[in-house]
Amino acid sequence: MKFSFLTYFLFVFVVSPVSAITLIEVSPVHFGSVSGQLGLSCAMSQYGVISGACDASDGEISVGQITVTDLPRKGTVEVILKGSTNSALTFTPLAELTGAKGGTIYLYENQPVSAEVKGNGAEFSLTVYGSFSLVSDITLSGPYTVDYSIEINPQ
């Protein structure tokens, strides 16, 4: 028996005293399907390659893509990535941030990083992936979801 798992971007918290930074979900993180037993886990690379208990041939699999716009010009922002746990799943996100001055920045759960905005206020792109595990047995009842959040604070 297979169950569909969709892990997606649901909550964004942005603190900005000057202007609103905008986050746009281009595509959600989607792990495909897996059998529904407690303790099973699945991981996704930054390229969308699946390992573990997920069905790697599932056509729904995708990394999450987030575009961050309306950044301050020549400023620095703090970026924090957070996963979560619900009654069925635990999601531990990882992400790559591109478009910052100095190149790609790797984000790990609950570890704030500083990203320097290019002088023209260019946008950032985030590729979200990571791993999840089942914290309880599940039943066939549709897609299961778990949240993650991205917090961006001007400095």
Q: Domain limits at 18?
A: 3-154
What is the pLDDT averaged over residues 11-37? Answer: 72
pLDDT tens, position by position, 38-70: 778 899 999 999 998 888 888 888 999 999 998
C-beta of residue 40 within 8 angstroms of C-beta of residue 133: yes
Cα-Cα end-to-end distance for the chain: 49
When divided into structural domains, the chain yields a total of 1
Please report, for the domain that includes residue 122, its CATH number: 2.60.40
* Helix and strand totals (H; E) in the chain: 0, 14
pTM: 0.85
